[in-house]
Structure 1
């Protein structure tokens, strides 16, 4: 896989196809697990596309035999397993990235579009190095200077999906005004950060709007940070993989593919977007706030 791709998407595709194959023959997780001499949880993880150990060709072929896949379908599953086990660029940062977020980086790298709401901080994809370093220095006080640098490098490398020439990802962000008023790293850092967002928002694939304090709570209650990840359509017009809702939390992260969850978060985003400043007014506010910080 290239640096623009990721092992998460083929793993999820493989899991979905294997789950569909199991359902087609009317077998339960327990029944297949017994046949394969696996635990139910191991097979469940494979079907969910969760990261884990190497997916052996022998195991995939045996699952395909149990499900009655023909040779072509079996070969397709084996190829997906090979792609899923390929090392991708973010794996070199495994020592400075928590496991739950490792999965997010893989999904993000595979996505064709992202929809984000951030009520508190500038999202990682829009952060400048000094802003990212100030946050990480506080959140990871025991880290060495080298570890902090590598965390920042990871953040910056992720941002290539926005600015690359070939198939840049579409990003749509609603950022609460508190994120541009809360000081991270000092006035100089904030000024540079806000100018950076204003400049990024001029890209045709990037939309950033500010939800002002005056808008109150457009959904009727507080909504935490989340990202909707979409993976585009295949040649058959069907989704390459189900869209994912990623909800980031202080004590843990949540991933969901459930259609009802996706609808709820889409509805919330639409409400906050309607209450936000338009793109031009938001860009003006970023530049104005940067001047207030001394830019």
Structure 2
């Protein structure tokens, strides 16, 4: 069982970040990627560009990797003029402003591990997510009773107020799929065995199954039946693929990311071949899963089995 909302679970391996101290969020990385592309297009080295605007090369490198603590509007203006693209200044200033805003989960730094804080930033910026869970119902879809029962087992020493803060984090995340404006699109496949693994009694499981069946239309819930065996020839483990939308030309605004949880921590994969491999795995799993209507029928039938 993966429990990322804990101070004890630090990231074991976070791909794509040169600094383990802080992994940049999507606006950070997008800003840095644009600045780097503009510099390369102009034919300047980091040293030459930094010298031209009166900054150190290390400062500019941090900007291009999204790891700068702050960036001023004057630096953006100077870089855009240097790269002969002054018309992009307002766009980059908007990205810089986003990256200085406080995120809702900053209030819960005592409860959220750094590795999961990275994921929350990605999840909040995503346009759609693809999730496979063979082990447990993830926090986006848990009922309060289901989540509370798991927390009582995992966080044995927590005080009631600490558990309540963890539940608030789940509620904040669930707003992503419940909000009326631009809700997060989700493709979820969950193993049938997850529905049969009892957490805190039959009534809690009945409510959970009904909740999954009643999720809004932007969430596609499909159940992988036990009879399907192993669609990829092995145990794929839980994973989430995050996509961030495309521009008017159909180009991805931000490279997709695969998030993989484990008991000891988590990793983020961005290499195209890694993302492609997990997409292929999900397609194989989805191909043999029940369709949305069949899955709803199964969820309601299981709910009745637990609590007629």
Tell me which residue corresponds to 2:111: 96
Instruction: Say which of 157, 170, 187 aligns to 1:172.
Output: 187
- The answer (yes or no) to whether the contact 2:228–2:288 under 8 Å persists in 1 is yes
Tell me which residue corresponds to 2:20: none
- Shift of the alpha carbon at 1:12? 2.3
Give the secondary-structure state (helix, strand or coil) at the position aligned to 1:96: coil
Tell me which residue corresponds to 1:156: 171
Alpha-carbon displacement from aligned partner over 1:130-188 (angstroms, at most 9, x marks no partner) = 11122222222232211111111111121112121112221111101121111223222
- The answer (yes or no) to whether the contact 1:55–1:85 under 8 Å persists in 2 is no
- The answer (yes or no) to whether the contact 2:189–2:222 under 8 Å persists in 1 is yes
**1:53 matches 2:69:** yes
Tell me which residue corresponds to 1:43: 61
2:152 and 2:73 mapped to 1: Cα distance? 43
**1:9 matches 2:26:** yes
Alpha-carbon displacement from aligned partner over 1:216-243 (angstroms, at most 9, x marks no partner) = 1100111111111111122343222222
Q: Which has the higher contact order (CA 8 A, sep 6+)?
A: 2
1:252 and 1:126 mapped to 2: Cα distance? 21
- Shift of the alpha carbon at 1:56? 4.2
Give the secondary-structure state (helix, strand or coil) at the position aligned to 1:222: coil
2:35 and 2:291 mapped to 1: Cα distance? 44
**1:77 matches 2:92:** yes
- Shift of the alpha carbon at 1:21? 2.8
**1:132 matches 2:147:** yes
Give the secondary-structure state (helix, strand or coil) at the position aligned to 2:135: coil
Change (3 A) 1:102 1:120: same
1:138 and 1:19 mapped to 2: Cα distance? 47
Tell me which residue corresponds to 1:244: 257
Where structure 2 has 5 or more consecutive residues not aligned to the other structure, the ranges are: 1-23
2:57 and 2:158 mapped to 1: Cα distance? 38
Q: Which moved more, 1:173-182 or 1:56-65?
A: 56-65
- Shift of the alpha carbon at 1:18? 2.1
Instruction: Say which of 202, 208, 220 aligns to 1:207.
Output: 220
Tell me which residue corresponds to 1:3: none
RMSD: 2.6
1:190 and 1:212 mapped to 2: Cα distance? 18
1:48 and 1:129 mapped to 2: Cα distance? 39
Change (3 A) 1:57 1:120: same
2:239 and 2:50 mapped to 1: Cα distance? 34
Tell me which residue corresponds to 2:212: 197
1:31 and 1:181 mapped to 2: Cα distance? 62
**1:292 matches 2:308:** no
Tell me which residue corresponds to 1:116: 131
- The answer (yes or no) to whether the contact 1:112–1:169 under 8 Å persists in 2 is yes
Instruction: Say which of 256, 267, 272 aligns to 1:259.
Output: 272
Tell me which residue corresponds to 1:4: none
Alpha-carbon displacement from aligned partner over 1:233-278 (angstroms, at most 9, x marks no partner) = 2234322222221112222222122221121111000100111112
2:131 and 2:148 mapped to 1: Cα distance? 22
Where structure 1 has 5 or more consecutive residues not aligned to the other structure, the ranges are: 1-6
TM-score of the pair, normalised by structure 2: 0.82
1:8 and 1:53 mapped to 2: Cα distance? 12
Q: Which moved more, 1:95-104 or 1:70-79?
A: 70-79
Give the secondary-structure state (helix, strand or coil) at the position aligned to 2:182: coil
